[in-house]
Structure 1
Amino acid sequence: MSPGEKLDPLPDTFILQPPVFHPVIPYVTTIFGGLRAGKMVMLQGAVPLNARRFMVDFQCGCSLHPRPDIAIHFNPRFHTTKPHVICNTLYRGCWQAEARWPHVALQRGASFLILFLFGNEEMKVSVNGQHFLHYRYRLPLSRVDTLGIFGDILVTAVGFLNANPFVEGGSEYPVGHPFLLRSPGLEVPCSHAFPQGLWPGQVIIVRGLVLPEPKDDSSRWVRAQTPGPSGVERRAALPSGRVGVLLLCQEGGLKLALNGQGVGATSLGQQVLEQLRELRISGSVQLYCVHY
């Protein structure tokens, strides 16, 4: 495979705009480029022990007066006799008929990872890796350009991702690997051990932010090099800004992708794969996620 050739669909997502860590609630932000089918919003956090309700709104604008239309209103309620979730749409100042789910997949005092996955006709929501609900659009998804988070919720991270159509393990959702901030395992330089080496089918995903003005040229490249004095090296230039690097191990070698674009492949035998025992990351980068 030549550099620049697209890889087959892979179980990866890459960052569409910089994630937000520990926002102050209420929190309102622009969704860069608006919403479209294939985008995914990932929300990490926890529900306070005394929570009554919180709201996640996908809005058509961010004005205060008049109030913008809300294409999707996601509203878990914990303070009622029977906790439940409401989804609804606000159009020209009037709420439409609400859709209600009698069970809440979220619990007071517990952490969560919520994925909002946007399809052609409906939004699907998963909580901690399990499907929770789906809500059919009542306003065009293309009108949505603002995310609002309100109420009783502690948010540690908000991620805006591109959902790859690859379906991993028969699940209807892409895998949402959590973003981590200031985790000891993500301090650069860092290393991750593979005691048994690499094996066919393994996927290594690194996501982060390439910082401007690197200290040297080596921090502006991602390199994949096989062991030994005659090892083969593959390089891809890293632009400043958000970046997702994917390394796919398969029968006969490795494939490297940067932000979903294939940049090269290397032919390797299984014995050589088993000799690859360590992943090292260094340079001018802030890491958000390392998964393998």
Structure 2
Amino acid sequence: MSPGEKLDPLPDTFILQPPAFHPVVPYITTIFGGLRAGKMVMLQGVVPLDARRFQVDFQCGCSLHPRPDIAIHFNPRFHTAKPHVICNTLHLGRWQAEARWPRLALQRGASFLILFLFGNEEMKVSVNGQHFLQYRYRLPLSRVDTLGIFGDILVKAVGFLNINPFSEGGSEYPVGHEVPCSCPLPRGLWPGQVIVLRGLVLQEPKDFTLSLLDETARVPVTLRASFADRTLAWVSPWGQRKLISAPFLFYPQRFFEVLLLCHEGGLKLALNGQGLGATSLGQQALERLRELRISGTVQLYCVHY
């Protein structure tokens, strides 16, 4: 970016977080702007005939180690003599007292539409248009920024809605960071560490690049998205490109989330909650990394590592 150049303005507020269609479970995604009273999450899908249980977690973060707090854990169970639903809260690694509903408004083999409505003090849940339960918050709703869906469930769509789209106050957009940007990695990377980038693709985008550099400023690994040919690829230090065989999930004026999970000798990649495979790097190379660089025609809202 040249000196004095300004970032493109944020889009109009009617451009909300897009729904996800047919996501692969387990599915984890950012709730942009977090949860607040007046928001609603829609979950549409099918319960498999052999389902035992599934869960919908409204999480305070998306780390793997340590496990994040779960403000609201919604857990239908079909495999017991009397199918039921459990709601609970995980705080500092410990589950609190369960809240149990003996009547289960979901059936194996049947389609469903679940609405999670968030009020000032409690969440209300409806199933197929009928009120089902309500659960009082045990952790502040403002801490929730991640949705996780796990278990025996086929998801057709996940949507994020405002009950009153004309209500004042609040915004879907956190404060942005200028791009290009650089983030130090003083301890390198190690197995179990997660790097999360959240942002918005600008109008008429050209490219997006995420690079990891070692102490000699060498670039052992680069992830590059090209909007010209709609490809996503790992780029080696010698310029060789290894295409990632997956649908191109970056769209102009739409949010994105890139997640890199460090494991023994490499990095696993997920984009918008979809796992896209891994790249090998070597444990020693991971430990020597000292800098994360991001560039391209995007607006960044979060860099977490």
Task: Bin the TM-score by the shorter chain.
Answer: 0.5 to 0.7
SS in 2 for 1:34: coil
The whole-number CA distance in structure 1 between the counterparts of 2:117 and 2:58 is 12
Tell me if 1:57 matches 2:52: no
Deviation digits for residues 184-233 of structure 1 (CA, Å, limit 9, x no counterpart): xxxxxxxxxxxxxxxxxxxxxxxxxxxx77xxxxxxxxxxxxxxxxxxxx
After the TM superposition, list the runs of 4 or more consecutive aligned residues in structure 1 that deviate by more than 2 angstroms.
239-242
AA partner of residue 140 (structure 1): P
The whole-number CA distance in structure 2 between the counterparts of 1:100 and 1:15 is 38
The whole-number CA distance in structure 2 between the counterparts of 1:149 and 1:90 is 15
Question: Does the CA-based 8 Å contact 1:69-1:92 persist in structure 2?
Answer: yes
SS in 2 for 1:18: coil
The whole-number CA distance in structure 1 between the counterparts of 2:16 and 2:28 is 17
Question: Does the CA-based 8 Å contact 1:47-1:152 persist in structure 2?
Answer: yes
AA partner of residue 135 (structure 2): Y
1:41 corresponds to: 41
2:161 corresponds to: 161
AA partner of residue 164 (structure 2): N
Deviation digits for residues 19-58 of structure 1 (CA, Å, limit 9, x no counterpart): 0011100010000010000000000000000000000000
2:236 corresponds to: none
Question: Does the CA-based 8 Å contact 1:15-1:161 persist in structure 2?
Answer: no
SS in 2 for 1:125: strand
2:227 corresponds to: none
Once the 2 structures are TM-superposed, how far is the Cα of residue 165 of structure 1 from its aligned partner? 8.9
SS in 1 for 2:19: strand
Once the 2 structures are TM-superposed, how far is the Cα of residue 164 of structure 1 from its aligned partner? 2.1
AA partner of residue 137 (structure 2): Y
The whole-number CA distance in structure 1 between the counterparts of 2:97 and 2:123 is 17
AA partner of residue 35 (structure 2): L
Deviation digits for residues 154-205 of structure 1 (CA, Å, limit 9, x no counterpart): 0000000001299xxxxxxxxxxxxxxxxxxxxxxxxxxxxxxxxxxxxxxx
Deviation digits for residues 112-159 of structure 1 (CA, Å, limit 9, x no counterpart): 000000000000000000000000000000000000000000000000
The whole-number CA distance in structure 2 between the counterparts of 1:161 and 1:95 is 29
1:134 corresponds to: 134
Q: Count the aligned residue pairs.
A: 160
AA partner of residue 158 (structure 1): V
SS in 2 for 1:16: coil
Once the 2 structures are TM-superposed, how far is the Cα of residue 71 of structure 1 from its aligned partner? 0.1
AA partner of residue 57 (structure 1): D
Once the 2 structures are TM-superposed, how far is the Cα of residue 107 of structure 1 from its aligned partner? 0.4
Matches within 5 A, 1:266-281: none
Once the 2 structures are TM-superposed, how far is the Cα of residue 16 of structure 1 from its aligned partner? 3.1
The whole-number CA distance in structure 2 between the counterparts of 1:111 and 1:17 is 24
The whole-number CA distance in structure 1 between the counterparts of 2:253 and 2:165 is 26
Distance 1:163 1:15, change over 3 A: farther
Deviation digits for residues 75-123 of structure 1 (CA, Å, limit 9, x no counterpart): 0000000000000000000000000000110000000000000000000
Gaps of 5+ in 2: 1-13, 167-202, 205-251, 256-305
AA partner of residue 43 (structure 2): L
1:18 corresponds to: 18
SS in 1 for 2:142: helix
SS in 2 for 1:126: strand
SS in 2 for 1:71: strand
AA partner of residue 83 (structure 1): P
Give the TM-score, by structure 2 length.
0.50
The whole-number CA distance in structure 2 between the counterparts of 1:60 and 1:141 is 9
2:4 corresponds to: none
Distance 1:21 1:165, change over 3 A: closer
The whole-number CA distance in structure 2 between the counterparts of 1:241 and 1:126 is 29
Question: Does the CA-based 8 Å contact 1:40-1:118 persist in structure 2?
Answer: yes
The whole-number CA distance in structure 2 between the counterparts of 1:129 and 1:15 is 27
Aligned-residue RMSD, C-alpha: 2.1
Tell me if 1:30 matches 2:45: no
AA partner of residue 49 (structure 2): L
